[in-house]
Structure 1
Amino acid sequence: MTTHLSLATLKDIAKTAGVPTYERSSLKAGIVHFGVGNFHRAHQAVYLDDLFNLGLDHDWAIIGAGVLASDAAMREKLAGQDFLTTVVEQDNNRSGARVTAAMIDYLAPGNAVATIAQLADPEIRIVSLTITEGGYFINPASGAFDPAHPAIAADAANPADPKTVFGLILAGLKARKDGGIAPFTVMSCDNIPGNGEVTHAAVSGLARLSDPDLADWIDAHVAFPNGMVDRITPATGAREIGITADDYGIDDAWPVFCEEYKQWVLEDHFPLGRPALEKVGVQFVPDVAPYEHMKIRILNGGHAAIAYPAALLDIHFVHEAMEDADIRAFLSKLEREEIIPVIPPVPDTDLNDYLALIERRFSNPKIADTIPRLAQDGSNRQPKFILPSTSDRLSRGEDVTGLALVSALWCHYLAGTTDGGKAISFNDPNFERIQAAAIAAKSDPAAFLDLKDIFGTVADSELFRGRFATALKSLQQNGTRATLKLYLENQLAS
């Protein structure tokens, strides 16, 4: 028998799971958050719930804000359980569930008037985002904001009725400026190098298209702190809903499963104040960049590296990929020989120890993170997680055999069939264009590298082009496993 998750049933749920020690009625909103997905509910919302459980900062609760039509389904499910979430943390040696109550409302997508009014409320002092790497309207090759994107152009032409996250934020800031209200801080929680700077470029860049004076005001007065976030959080499906019901007796329409480990490093730049997150483990530092480079290149880059060989070998779960001796050795060799050597030093951190931690986290069988999740959206992830390391090595005159192999594996995967003959399902906004290039690369490897918006100047390197062509030819002729073995034996570049 299960208990439906709600404020009224928390006493019953407390028999099997942790529940808030604070009264939800004591909370007041201080944050509007765009992108109420699994990661946000396993990360920022958990940190705030921890803080509220200490009896602190109850005026920093979250109001979610939907933008995409798909956000409506999440809002409906969460509204049906008083915006509560069951978070199931799963380490190798233990599992446990808790209910978080840090979110007190969720604005429906499609109602720009209500969202802008909430953003204009002086009580809102932070606006945060987890909108995925692909949501920032970045030109992948240049890394710069793309003002010509159709969605941005549409918001610039009609700023009073915005459809994008940045259009809504901009309208909220304009309302505050016009009303003499100090601007909120805009805090990105996405895995993007310099995520605060990228967000600043998007908000200010959009403003400059229609209201240059507002853009100047934003540049002068709005804070965009950089931050690094980390917690492996797979998608929710029938498995997770069933475990929540069977193991904890909780009927939750959309629980979140995650690893026990979490990390959040932030620059302390919040002019209107912030919750005392340092009391619950958040690191506040003058410069996030070293931590960011470490995490994005070792962890996210590691995920990108193992995704495609595992997919081509018909491996479904990440921990199963780590159980494959060739994939695990490929990851270790790539990280230690090509990725870690171009990462700047990180305060009080040994990068090889950090890699060992990542390998343990990837190997956690209880998380049941999937290879299809890691393989999706490669056209946005490769330029952020893999190609920067490739570019750095090339600029130093160093070899890129392993990194070129990662790019070749992605290309071979995009051709559409696993080594076992199974059709691959794709989730990438640029799928048709990049698959056409991948298919053309079967006879002309340069056809894939000519995706200049993805590869940029990396593709101009004769060394990279040669290493890529060699790796792709081996994958086509010998298959994934044999190619991995050639790389591990230092025979692939010859």
Structure 2
Amino acid sequence: MMPRLSDAVLAALPESVARPRYDRAGIRPGILHLGLGAFHRAHQAVMTEAVLNAGARDWGIVAASLRSAETRDALAPQDGLYTVATREDEREALQVVGALRGLIVAPEDPGALLQAMVDPGIRIVSLTVTEKGYCHDPSTGSLDEAQADIRHDLLHPTAPRSAPGILVEALRRRRAEGIPPFTVLCCDNLPANGETVRRVVTRLCALRDPGLGTWIGDAVAFPSTMVDRIVPATTAEDRARIAAALGAEDAWPVVGEGFSQWVIEDHFPLGRPDWAIAGAQFARDVAPFELMKLRMLNGAHSALAYLGYLAGHETVAEAASDPVFARYLAMLWDEIAPSVPAPPGVVLADHAGRLLARFRNRALRHRTWQIAMDGSQKLPQRLLGPLRHALAEGRPAPCLIIAVAGWMRYVMGIDERGAPIDLRDPMLPALRAASAAGLDQPQDVARRLLDLTGIFGSDVAGHPALAVDIGNALALLVRDGARQALSGLTATR
């Protein structure tokens, strides 16, 4: 029987497998991370592992799941160890990461999480809770005060459920005990993510205790970041392949591409790890990198997810390797690029070429369905931002328009073969109600979806020509299907 990955088997792993080069027992936690998902374990934790391997001893990570115990249950019997498989075409490199020095499931013991966050040794609280985890209105970036978890946290502030509520209560306790506040480091795809989280957290404070809100606004650092690595969901095939290579069972390895980028605003009053060792970039202004990533990568990813799924492409690599979709992506990036001020040293046309190569990495089975989740939270920054920019400049934007229509066609809930789509979205009831007219009335569906101001604001539906164009694009997708519609759109290129 194959042994389970753990500290006891590290020495017996094959020489080709990278592993911690430090005494894990001597590592002290300095980071508490909210959101124990695959992306954190393949990105920030890997870069922190490099810092520990270089000799730092006070930057171990305590990681907390805010919803499910599944990841904790997988990793706890492994002493917090897990494998990162870096895949490029036929090549795969394995690294066992030891940076996780504590695992908490918040719903099981909220007090344990808050107690850990008050520990003076914790100097950074980082987050990967997805866009919806911030309980904000994606069209404005403001706190959604009607959101269920926010209402709960206002009624029960010392037993919070939401990420903003947890941050507020932990900071309140540190203030009460005279402990300097930790730095809040958002690593999610939000525009101006540090400032957005500051706005959400201080607003929640203001509703609860205006004095606390003023203190947090003045005393707490919320640096912005840009994170970039493609990390698909781990499959049973991944687990079996990695176990065979290790000679040990890993219940929850993660898989990622070779490319990894992290740009960080350098504002950490209590100190930070030297993540530059692992290739992180520290900058005064993260905004150009963030905007480029949100629009060029994430915007194209979402367009490819909805239209590719409808066309029957299970993965991003399949869709990006389809000549019709490749031509569409090139045209889409041409529409997006004028809305993106290039960061220093970046040529956007070259960047688009590199993105296409990354999308075509067949070693990563990044499912279009996975990217399509929570579209109501992603559309404003990924597609509507560059669409508004094109409108303001009077530029045609047929590729952006059909991408928005692709999302609408997807949320109608029936694919092109007549099978139901497994929709996952925090606004699902509103989306179902708006699309109830069905495939026979695409113009009506488009109009009703555009009326959802939490996604589109008030300006998109109020732009008559744009609303007609989106409705026409949705009707085209219903009539001809995604691939044929894109074939017609790209025929002149």
Give, in whole Å, the separation in 2 of the partners of 1:147 and 1:237: 37
Which residue is equivalent to 1:4?
4
TM-score, normalized by length of structure 1? 0.96
| Greater CA drift, 450-459 or 28-37 | 450-459
The residue identity in structure 2 corresponding to 1:422 is: A
Which residue is equivalent to 2:388?
391
The residue identity in structure 2 corresponding to 1:65 is: A
The residue identity in structure 1 corresponding to 2:66 is: V
Question: Aligned with 1:168: secondary structure?
Answer: helix
Alignment pair present for 1:206 and 2:204: yes
Which residue is equivalent to 2:44?
44
Residue 472 of structure 1 and its aligned partner are, at CA, apart by 1.3
Deviations 1:432-485 (A, max 9, x none): 321332343525231221122111122221231121122112112222222112
Q: Is the Cα–Cα contact under 8 Å of residues 415 and 435 in structure 1 kept in the other structure? A: yes
Question: Aligned with 1:4: secondary structure?
Answer: coil
Residue 351 of structure 1 and its aligned partner are, at CA, apart by 0.9
Percent of pairs with identical residues: 39
Deviations 1:68-121 (A, max 9, x none): 1x1x11111111100011000001252111100001011222222211111111
| Equivalent runs, 1:238-253 vs 2, <5 Å | 238-253=236-251
Question: Aligned with 2:460: secondary structure?
Answer: helix
**Backbone CA RMSD of aligned residues:** 1.5
The residue identity in structure 2 corresponding to 1:450 is: D
Question: Aligned with 1:201: secondary structure?
Answer: helix
Which residue is equivalent to 1:380?
377
* Shift in CA distance, 464/249, structure 1 to aligned 2, threshold 3 Å: farther
Residue 143 of structure 1 and its aligned partner are, at CA, apart by 2.5
Q: Is the Cα–Cα contact under 8 Å of residues 125 and 183 in structure 1 kept in the other structure? A: yes
Residue 16 of structure 1 and its aligned partner are, at CA, apart by 4.5
Question: Aligned with 1:315: secondary structure?
Answer: coil
The residue identity in structure 2 corresponding to 1:50 is: A
Q: Is the Cα–Cα contact under 8 Å of residues 135 and 162 in structure 2 kept in the other structure? A: no
Which residue is equivalent to 1:424?
421
* Shift in CA distance, 108/475, structure 1 to aligned 2, threshold 3 Å: closer
Which residue is equivalent to 1:270?
268
Give, in whole Å, the separation in 1 of the partners of 2:294 and 2:17: 33
Q: Is the Cα–Cα contact under 8 Å of residues 315 and 371 in structure 1 kept in the other structure? A: yes
| Equivalent runs, 1:103-114 vs 2, <5 Å | 103-110=100-107, 111-114=109-112
Question: Aligned with 1:460: secondary structure?
Answer: coil
Residue 286 of structure 1 and its aligned partner are, at CA, apart by 0.4
Give, in whole Å, the separation in 2 of the partners of 1:129 and 1:357: 28
Give, in whole Å, the separation in 1 of the partners of 2:449 and 2:246: 49
Residue 130 of structure 1 and its aligned partner are, at CA, apart by 0.2
Residue 248 of structure 1 and its aligned partner are, at CA, apart by 3.2
Give, in whole Å, the separation in 2 of the partners of 1:344 and 1:157: 43
Question: Aligned with 2:161: secondary structure?
Answer: coil
Residue 330 of structure 1 and its aligned partner are, at CA, apart by 0.8
Give, in whole Å, the separation in 2 of the partners of 1:294 and 1:282: 17
Residue 15 of structure 1 and its aligned partner are, at CA, apart by 3.4
Give, in whole Å, the separation in 2 of the partners of 1:421 and 1:112: 44
Q: Is the Cα–Cα contact under 8 Å of residues 378 and 428 in structure 1 kept in the other structure? A: yes
Residue 210 of structure 1 and its aligned partner are, at CA, apart by 1.1
The residue identity in structure 2 corresponding to 1:100 is: V
Residue 335 of structure 1 and its aligned partner are, at CA, apart by 0.9
Residue 369 of structure 1 and its aligned partner are, at CA, apart by 0.9
The residue identity in structure 2 corresponding to 1:411 is: M
Q: Is the Cα–Cα contact under 8 Å of residues 30 and 58 in structure 2 kept in the other structure? A: yes
Deviations 1:131-161 (A, max 9, x none): 0011111112222222232211221222111
Mark the runs of 5 or more structure 1 residues left unpaired by the alignment: none
Give, in whole Å, the separation in 1 of the partners of 2:398 and 2:63: 44
The counterpart of 2:317, out of the listed 316, 319, 332, is 319
| Equivalent runs, 1:55-74 vs 2, <5 Å | 55=55, 57-68=56-67, 70=68, 72-74=69-71
| Greater CA drift, 396-405 or 115-124 | 396-405
Give, in whole Å, the separation in 2 of the partners of 1:150 and 1:423: 28
Q: Is the Cα–Cα contact under 8 Å of residues 311 and 481 in structure 2 kept in the other structure? A: no
The counterpart of 1:408, out of the listed 405, 408, 433, is 405
Q: Is the Cα–Cα contact under 8 Å of residues 412 and 438 in structure 1 kept in the other structure? A: no
Which residue is equivalent to 2:481?
479
| Greater CA drift, 374-383 or 143-152 | 143-152
The counterpart of 1:191, out of the listed 189, 192, 204, is 189
The counterpart of 1:362, out of the listed 311, 335, 359, is 359
Give, in whole Å, the separation in 1 of the partners of 2:53 and 2:423: 41
Alignment pair present for 1:78 and 2:75: yes
Give, in whole Å, the separation in 1 of the partners of 2:2 and 2:84: 16
Residue 45 of structure 1 and its aligned partner are, at CA, apart by 0.4
Give, in whole Å, the separation in 1 of the partners of 2:469 and 2:294: 24
Alignment pair present for 1:98 and 2:95: yes
Which residue is equivalent to 1:305?
303
Alignment pair present for 1:21 and 2:15: no
Question: Aligned with 1:80: secondary structure?
Answer: helix
The residue identity in structure 2 corresponding to 1:63 is: V
| Greater CA drift, 221-230 or 379-388 | 379-388
Give, in whole Å, the separation in 2 of the partners of 1:243 and 1:292: 35
The residue identity in structure 2 corresponding to 1:488 is: T
Which residue is equivalent to 2:173?
175
Alignment pair present for 1:341 and 2:338: yes
Which residue is equivalent to 1:120?
118
Which residue is equivalent to 1:464?
466
Q: Is the Cα–Cα contact under 8 Å of residues 400 and 464 in structure 1 kept in the other structure? A: no
Q: Is the Cα–Cα contact under 8 Å of residues 147 and 205 in structure 1 kept in the other structure? A: no
Question: Aligned with 1:171: secondary structure?
Answer: helix
Question: Aligned with 1:99: secondary structure?
Answer: strand
Residue 490 of structure 1 and its aligned partner are, at CA, apart by 5.7
Give, in whole Å, the separation in 1 of the partners of 2:298 and 2:338: 16
